Structure 1
Amino acid sequence: MTGSSALPENRCCVRSVSLPTRSHPLVVKIEEYLSKSKTWEGSSTSKNNTSSAETIQVGLAGLAELYNCVDDFIHLPLIQQVLVNHQHEKSVEEALDESVSILDVCGIARDTFLTMKEGVKDLQSALRRKRGGQSSMRNQTSAYMCLRKKMKKDATKCLAVLKKLNEKNESLILNENHHLAVVVRVLREISSITISIFRCLLSFLSVTEPKRKLVGWSLVAKAMKNKSAVISEKEQEHLNEVELVDVAVHALCRHNSSTSAELERVEIAQTRLKALENTIDRLENGLDCMYRHIIQTRVSILNALNH
């Protein structure tokens, strides 16, 4: 990478890293990943449902590749020099502070995954043993519902933090030296994408997305308020793995039903709990990977500043 021509011109539009045709290959690669991320954001949620687990997995995988590129970008000699020369700039300090907040949210999300997986396994074990009869099953389902309530509370707090970070990110205008502006903008871009994916992840896991317009959560609420309510298979097509387990768990609480009907509900619950466990495992792996990437990028920036 030689001379200033290897870096893009100064642009003040957030979420846009316009690059000249002779940019450094790494910067071009970052732009390509940013473009893909915008496509992902457009498809991650639709007017009919929240992001699917598969969509979130794709987002996490793409984000991991982007972090790899950004880390290589930070280690370029010219970028290292830019960071050293402007280490006390407010925008650099804000980028580092934001990375701490995102890392905190990522840590809480990891803990939430772990807690939910333990709750799923406990309920699976209880359904397999079926010791203590109906009373024992009721206790286990109640414990799971209490767990879900706490998860929603924790996720709501995290979503509020992410919303504030995103609003702050989008409102900032860059007025620095054009080389520094490019570096800061790249960091803000990856921060914005990380925030977007984490919001989808938390919303999927806790089903707390406030702007959700559709039937998904309303169907779960229907089962919660009326334990005798039966949600049709067609209606359940709108639900994700977490919601499907919610419906199945509440169905286990129904009274005055035949033994065959009870066995059927237990079987459905076991099938859905297994599917949810597999989904959690996949997303948890992606989240662990992101946690390491966020730490690595932050360490790379700090090392450059202390060089």
Structure 2
Amino acid sequence: MASSTIYHARSISLPSRPHPVAEQLDEQLSRLRSSLSTSTSSSSISQCLNGLTDLYSSVDEFLQLPLNQQTLSHNQNAIEQVLDASLRLLDICSASRDALQQSRELLQDVQSTLRRRCSGELSITSEATKYLNTRRSVKKAIKKCHKNLKPSTELKDEAHATVSLLKDVQATTSDSLKSLVSYIGGSQKSGWSVVAKLISKNNNEVATNSLFDDVDATLNSLISQKKSGISSLQIENLTSQILKLETEIQDVDEALESLFRHLVKSRATLLNIISY
């Protein structure tokens, strides 16, 4: 997927023989960037989030190295920038999880109505309208989150490579979360597209919409044709879409919860380091 963050070509200029954890971090960053640039569907969201969780596991190890702790304790101004950025990332994770939870609960209401249908007659207007209204609110909140995911500011020349590496991690995290919020928000009237306007293999076609968009479109269609009746095939199609979307939401939410815990842990470690 397209990324707005510009990465500077460099190698980690840690001591002459970098610690294995630093090398592992650099390799993980490279893999994640490659994944972000070549992903072609929303199904890669959970994979990217899981990759970030693995990345932050290495960050935790990296921050425990005595040399890095000493370096960071003498670069408190730079660390303040990293801490500010970490707070924004945590806010995005929280907002995303809230949006997923809201969507999941309302989808369950729609499913409950589908199960209560009687003699082929079905009225889902109330639940569908409630869901779509909530989706509009979610889109507004998610779009705000998207705007708050800004690229990291450029490092000053004197900044140590340890701080630079942490900012690289945050930049990659930001790009991954941009994809996440685009996936949750779905298509926008303004043209803000799903999953950052993913480009297909031939570089000429935009990737298909997410399941959020599919469910939105189906509910809108069913509401508009209420008077003409809803066929059993349409009901089956909607039920299938909802079940698939619920599975996606569950996978993404679990990955997001794990990432959130690691973000909290790394932030706490940084706060402890600068408080010494």
Common fold: TM-score over 0.5? yes
Q: What is aligned with 1:33?
A: 28
Specify which of 27, 45, 52 is matched with residue 42 of structure 2. Answer: 52
Q: Map 1:159-198; keep pairs closer than 5 Å.
A: 159-162=146-149, 165-166=150-151, 169=152, 171-176=153-158, 180-198=159-177
Question: In structure 2, the residue corresponding to 1:71 is in which secondary structure?
Answer: helix
Specify which of 73, 82, 89 is matched with residue 62 of structure 2. Answer: 73
Distance in 1, matches of 2:275 and 2:194, equals 48
Q: What is aligned with 1:146?
A: 133
Q: What is aligned with 1:115?
A: 102
Instruction: Identify the range of structure 1 (181-190 vs 116-125) with the bigger mean alpha-carbon deviation.
Output: 181-190
Distance in 1, matches of 2:72 and 2:194, equals 44
- Amino acid corresponding to residue 189 of structure 1 in structure 2: D
Q: What is aligned with 2:243?
A: 274
Q: What is aligned with 1:157?
A: 144
| CA deviation map 1:42-101 (0-9, x unaligned) | 1135xxxxx422x111111111111111111111010111122232x2x21111111111
- Amino acid corresponding to residue 248 of structure 2 in structure 1: T
Greater radius of gyration (CA): 1
Distance in 2, matches of 1:302 and 1:151, equals 32
Runs (5+) with no aligned partner, structure 2:
1-5, 198-206
Please give the TM-score of this superposition, normalised by the length of structure 1: 0.77
Distance change (3 Å), C-alpha of 1:213 and 1:203 = closer
Count the aligned residue pairs.
256
- Amino acid corresponding to residue 29 of structure 1 in structure 2: Q
Runs (5+) with no aligned partner, structure 1:
1-12, 46-50, 217-236
Q: Map 1:4-23; keep pairs closer than 5 Å.
A: 14-19=7-12, 22-23=17-18
Calculate percent identity across the aligned residue pairs. Answer: 28
1:136 Cα deviation after fit: 4.2
- Amino acid corresponding to residue 38 of structure 2 in structure 1: S
1:16 Cα deviation after fit: 4.0
Specify which of 249, 256, 261 is matched with residue 287 of structure 1. Answer: 256
Q: What is aligned with 2:84?
A: 97
Runs ≥4 residues deviating over 3 A: 13-17, 133-136, 208-214, 255-258
Q: What is aligned with 1:212?
A: 193
Q: Over aligned residues, Cα RMSD in angstroms?
A: 2.5
Distance in 2, matches of 1:270 and 1:251, equals 14
Distance in 1, matches of 2:228 and 2:37, equals 45
- Amino acid corresponding to residue 250 of structure 1 in structure 2: N
Q: What is aligned with 2:37?
A: 42
